[in-house]
Amino acid sequence: MLPTRRWAALAGTACFFAVFAVVLGESAPLFAAGGLTAWLVVTQFDAVRTITTADSSLSASVSVDSATAFVGDRAAVTMTATLSEPLDAPLDVELVAPPSVDAPDRGRRTVTLEPGDTTGSTTCSVTFPIAGRITFETVQVRIEDRAGCFTETLTLDADARCLVEPPSPEGVHVGQGGELVGATFGDHPSDRTGPGLVPHETRQYVPGDTLSQIDWRTTARMNQPYIREFETESDYLLSLVVDCGAHMNRGPTGRTMLSYGREVALGCVNAAESHGDPISAQIVDETATVWEFGPSSSSNAYQTIRRELLATEPKSGTHRAVESSRPVAPTDARKRSQALDGDSAFSTTLRPFLFDGTSYVSRVSDRPLFDAVKTSCATADREDHLVVVTDDSAKVETYEAVVVAAERSSQTTVFLTPNALFGDATAPGESGGFAEFEEFRKRLDRLPNVTAYEVAPRTAIELATAETAATVE
Amino acid sequence: METTQNQRIPTIRAVLESNELTPADAVGVFLLTAALTTTSGLWGVVAGLSVLGVALVATGPATFVLAQLWAVSLLSGETAFPVAAAQVATLPLLVSATCSWPPDRTRLGRLTAAYVVAGGGVWLLWTGLRWPWQSAFVFVTLAAFVSYALHRYELVAVGAVTPDPEADR
């Protein structure tokens, strides 16, 4: 309990009267001091009663509208104060925000219970600038007695928690058909012998082999001359094509399709760096290639690409139209058109579309992903490994780009983020979308020298595969 | 805490939503004027009018403090009876400043009791001790002790400290 300036003024006046009585030697000023003192003591007694009543009857509850959030998100925090019995003095109930939260000013976090009120509530919006487990654990109550002579600050316990997660993907699943692939990258053996450090095999000596190739230990053990051959180390050019169009922005904050795709792309860069492979990178959106680099194997190259990947954010723009139809190549279309009956209305209507190969090609070749893949393949004058990170929203474009890559590149790896597993489509019952995706992924995977993987949150993949299995059964 | 005076102290004036003279004010001003006029003549009327003016424009204990100042100023050297009469006259002014309308009997009784006890204590000290400074010193010490006791009780009641002062150190 702290006295206010009003109390100090009155107590000072009482002391003045007491001193005045001593100076005058009269009793009248001391009676005046006595009257004021009586009033101050009664006021203090009332304040004590008010404060103890408030302490025993006041309860406060705090709730956060979402139990989890990402860094930078806003959340509504609601505080409700309830008195089991009304008080005769006003009290302010303030939500104490943790230091790690950007909270509004005190006025917006405070609810005032006027005399006679029994409940009050306030809602404020807070921002989480850093990750961690945020707990709103304290509510501060400020009481001023009805005479304005004393104040007291009480604290009440609250237990509102919010888990603020960093804006990065968690549980990245890279696999095929729901089966996790441990490592998509690693040593890349060339399966050819020659100068190198990695032992490949031993074989019997044949005329023409040099003496330096003889493995003397094996020769001594086998009593015949043996040759030890070493595997030739290869040097792959890693060509990275990352799609960062607005359609890759699907998913919650920090866990968008691009976030997952970026994790994979960063892993590819790390793998290339660990092998000393040269690397080139292209980042494309809906309209054009927005950034390209390399090829280069300098130490700065990996860092530059990493930095660019981390800085890349999908531009808010028109989402690419989802191509729901299966891609059909012009040759297939022509074959099907030949199977159409002569002059039926169905055939007449459909035939022009199937023969229109030119528009099909132009439709695909104008797309930036296709163009980027084609460019990457063109610049590779040695063994290369093309990595494409995109989603399944434009199946035709992706398919044709991968077809080109399969023809021109030594090895092509496609990382696809399923649209069905991001955003609202992750709800149960949407596994049909994942089945369609899986069909598309298998189609890509069947192309020569192409490996296609799905990239998605592990939990979403498990849910989707379980539902797909249940549907099949 | 931003509260208006009316919110903080629901006095009679606040309830009436005006600064008009309340019955308690009227009684207090009348009794005070009578007590002071009896002993000091015209100055008593002046004192009564000034207290009446403050009662009309101010809330809180200002009226009571002014009345006490007039009583101290005009009753120097007087016998105990006029002093006691003036103190009784100022009590309604204090009631007007602190009690709501209709007056809470408990609070009114508590205030009156404290007023009587304080006045009685002053009288006992003044008549029992030899020097005025002794009376004043003992009274202030007693008042401080009571105030600290209430403060300590409040801290224990709300759980801010334990009953044993040594345990808090």
User: Which position has the higher pLDDT, A409 or A220?
Assistant: A220
Confidence grade of residue B59 (pLDDT, cut at 50, 70, 90): confident
pLDDT value at position B169?
Answer: 56
pLDDT tens digits along B80-111: 788 888 888 888 888 887 776 566 788 888 88
Residue A431's contacts (CB-CB under 8 Å, 6 or more residues apart) are A420, A463, A464, A467, A468, A471
**Which position has the token pair 């997660």?**
A165
**Which position has the token pair 């030949």?**
A338
User: How many CB atoms within 10 Å of residue A324?
Assistant: 8
Answer whether A413's CB lies under 8 Å from A272's CB: no
- Residue A301, CA distances (Å) to A269, A312, A417, B44, B115 in order: 10, 16, 26, 99, 88
Distance of CA A232 to the CA centre of its chain: 41
Task: Look at B68 and A32 and tell me if their CB atoms are within 8 Å.
Answer: yes
Q: Is B75 on the interface with A (CB under 8 A)?
A: yes
Q: Which of B94, B125, B154 sits opposite A35 (nearest CB)?
A: B94
To the nearest whole Å, the CA of B20 is away from the closest chain A CA by 20
Q: Is A152 on the interface with B (CB under 8 A)?
A: yes
Pairwise CA distance, residues A321 & A178, whole Å: 26
pLDDT tens digits along B110-120: 888 998 999 88
Pairwise CA distance, residues A43 & A18, whole Å: 20
Distance of CA A446 to the CA centre of its chain: 31
| Nearest C-alpha neighbor of A8 from the set A52, A53, A44 | A44
Ranges of beta strands (E only) in A108-233 are 110-113, 119-127, 132-144, 150-165, 172-176, 179-180, 193-204, 226-231
pLDDT tens digits along A300-329: 888 888 888 888 887 665 545 544 444 556
pLDDT tens digits along A353-403: 666 555 555 566 667 888 888 777 766 566 778 899 988 888 888 888 888
Chain A residue numbers touching B135 (CB-CB < 8 A): 21, 30
Chain A residue numbers touching B60 (CB-CB < 8 A): 6
Average pLDDT, chain B: 79
Q: Which of A24, A45, A51 sits opposite B158 (nearest CB)?
A: A51
To the nearest whole Å, the CA of A91 is away from the closest chain B CA by 8
Chain B residue numbers touching A146 (CB-CB < 8 A): 8-10
Q: Is B157 on the interface with A (CB under 8 A)?
A: yes
Which two three-digit tokens encode residue A139? 């509510």
Answer whether B97's CB lies under 8 Å from A38's CB: no
Pairwise CA distance, residues A49 & A208, whole Å: 108
Q: Is B115 on the interface with A (CB under 8 A)?
A: yes
Confidence grade of residue B5 (pLDDT, cut at 50, 70, 90): very low
Whether the predicted pLDDT of A194 surpasses 80: no
pLDDT value at position A322?
Answer: 42
pLDDT value at position B168?
Answer: 55
pLDDT value at position A41?
Answer: 92
pLDDT value at position A184?
Answer: 47
pLDDT value at position B149?
Answer: 92
pLDDT tens digits along A9-63: 989 989 998 898 888 888 888 888 888 899 899 989 989 988 888 888 888 889 8
Task: Look at A37 and B150 and tell me if their CB atoms are within 8 Å.
Answer: no
Chain B residue numbers touching A155 (CB-CB < 8 A): none
Task: Look at A44 and B86 and tell me if their CB atoms are within 8 Å.
Answer: no
Beta bridge partners of A152: A143
**Which position has the token pair 């424009």?**
B57
Q: Is the ipTM value over 0.85, yes or no?
A: no
Q: Of A155-159, A465-469, B68-72, B86-90, which range is least confident? A: A465-469
Q: Is A15 on the interface with B (CB under 8 A)?
A: yes
Residue type, A318: T
Q: Are strands A237-243 and A279-284 parallel, antiparallel or unpaired?
A: parallel
Phi and psi dihedrals of A324, rounded to 5?
-85, -20
Task: Look at A1 and B139 and tell me if their CB atoms are within 8 Å.
Answer: no
Chain A residues 26-85 within an 8 A CB cutoff of chain B: 26-48, 51-52, 55
- Residue A371, CA distances (Å) to A241, A249, A400, A405, B94 in order: 10, 21, 10, 11, 91
pLDDT tens digits along B23-46: 888 888 888 888 888 887 888 888
**Which position has the token pair 């590149």?**
A409
- Residue B108, CA distances (Å) to A221, A253, B15, B112, B114 in order: 116, 63, 17, 6, 10
Phi and psi dihedrals of A309, rounded to 5?
-65, -40
Mean pLDDT, range A62-74, rounded to an integer: 85
Whether the predicted pLDDT of A341 surpasses 70: no
pLDDT value at position B37?
Answer: 85
Nearest CA in chain B to A56: B158
Chain A residue numbers touching B112 (CB-CB < 8 A): none
Whether the predicted pLDDT of A457 surpasses 60: yes
Half-sphere exposure of A401 (CA within 13 A, CB side): 32
Chain A residue numbers touching B156 (CB-CB < 8 A): none
Mean pLDDT, range A405-412, rounded to an integer: 83
Answer whether A32's CB lies under 8 Å from A15's CB: no
Task: Specify the length of chain B in residues.
Answer: 169
Query: How many CB pairs below 8 A link A and B?
Result: 161
To the nearest whole Å, the CA of A60 is away from the closest chain B CA by 16
Helix, strand, or coil here: A194? strand
Q: Report H helices in A209-344.
A: 216-222, 257-275, 299-311, 330-338
Q: Which of B94, B133, B150 sits opposite A22 (nearest CB)?
A: B133
- Residue A262, CA distances (Å) to A171, A255, B41 in order: 14, 10, 97
Whether the predicted pLDDT of B145 surpasses 90: yes
Q: Which of B1, B118, B143 sits opposite A142 (nearest CB)?
A: B1
Provide the residue ranges of all domains of chain B, joining segments of one domain with +: 5-123, 129-169
Chain B residue numbers touching A17 (CB-CB < 8 A): 68, 72
Pairwise CA distance, residues A130 & B121, whole Å: 63
pLDDT value at position B141?
Answer: 92
Nearest CA in chain A to B81: A28
Mean pLDDT, range A190-196, rounded to an integer: 51
Q: Of A106-110, A249-253, A266-270, which range is least confident? A: A249-253
Average pLDDT, chain A: 80
Chain B residues 11-70 within an 8 A CB cutoff of chain A: 60-61, 64-65, 68-69
Confidence grade of residue B143 (pLDDT, cut at 50, 70, 90): very high
Angle (CA) A80-A85-A86 rounded to 5° is 80
Task: Look at A36 and B65 and tell me if their CB atoms are within 8 Å.
Answer: yes
Phi and psi dihedrals of A160, rounded to 5?
-110, 125
Answer whether A289's CB lies under 8 Å from A250's CB: no
Task: Look at B154 and A51 and tell me if their CB atoms are within 8 Å.
Answer: yes
Whether the predicted pLDDT of B73 surpasses 60: yes
Interface test with A, best of B154, B155, B156 (most A CBs within 10 A): B154
Q: Is B152 on the interface with A (CB under 8 A)?
A: no
Answer whether A437's CB lies under 8 Å from A445's CB: no
Answer whether A330's CB lies under 8 Å from A399's CB: no
